[in-house]
Amino acid sequence: MRPAADSTERFTDRAGDYAAARPGYPAAIATTLIAELQLAPDAVVADIGSGTGLSCEPFLRAGLAVIGVEPNEAMRAEGDRQLAAFARFRSVAGTAEATTLADASVDLLAAAQAFHWFDIAPARAEALRILRRPPLAALIWNDRVSTGSRFAEGYEQLLLDFGIEYASIRHRHAHEDSVAAFFGHRDFRVAGFANPTALDWPTLLARLNSASYVPKADHPNHAPMVGRLRQLFDGAAHDGRVTMDYVTRVFYGALAA
């Protein structure tokens, strides 16, 4: 199913909160993929939907070259600022379906927290066009743990109560039928990495506001939502912080040509 027409613009006015508060990605993602997929030291990664650059960092820190492909101008500009110190990073204005990259120009296609917005058939065709052989890909999600503690369960309920389209977006994450359609088979490999994050109040609020499906500040539901979040924080905080747990899931392998 094709994502909503405005999907590339959902984060235009949330780029600052996104860069400041979204969880990063474990370094083990890059080291695992380098080893498992036998990537060369000079390998080039195309990070599709690279946003503010959070998902580019593990690959850059591992020494790989990364091209961030991002359609949203505000997010791409924020990513350029965040990653300015990395000489092997550059960004382009493009989408999963039309990256602007040359034929057979990259060694690994990565997409972190972005695949659920892809139009799968043309995105798969574009991936096969830009990838060298074997056509390697990794689809990555930070999946928030929503059970097991009062805070985790309360935060999930807050999103269900106040989120706009939250339930439908949540259910598109890492849907294995869609992943299989992109790879062209079900023989992809799966890895998981614990990714806990400790948040003070301003960072927790910014993380909530970075989500594309929550009410904006001028919406009548925004203030009640923030009030509920404050109650959750005050009830769970230790030393001025709460822990939000994630499991980073990676689906990886070669696309069937």
pLDDT in tens, 234-247: 999 999 999 999 99
Q: At 183, which CATH number?
A: 3.40.50.150
- Is there a domain that residue 161 lies in? no
- Is there a domain that residue 187 lies in? yes
- Number of domains making up the chain: 1
Torsion over CA of 5, 8, 9 and 15, rounded to 10 degrees?
160
- Is there a domain that residue 23 lies in? yes
- Is there a domain that residue 61 lies in? yes
pLDDT in tens, 89-134: 999 999 999 999 999 999 999 999 999 899 999 999 999 999 999 9
Tokens of 131: 């990838």
CA neighbours closer than 13 Å in the CB half-sphere of residue 240: 3
- Is there a domain that residue 16 lies in? yes
Neighbours of 202 (CB within 10 A): 10
Q: What is the pTM of this model?
A: 0.85
* Mean pLDDT within 24-46: 97
Judged by average pLDDT, the poorest of 5-19, 77-91, 170-184 is 5-19
pLDDT in tens, 159-201: 999 998 787 766 555 578 999 999 999 999 999 999 999 999 9
Sign of the alpha-carbon dihedral angle for 139, 144, 148, 154: negative
- Is there a domain that residue 126 lies in? yes
In terms of residue numbers, what domain contains 60? 7-144+170-196+246-254
Neighbours of 67 (CB within 10 A): 23
Name residue 205's amino acid: L
- Is there a domain that residue 204 lies in? no
- Is there a domain that residue 150 lies in? no
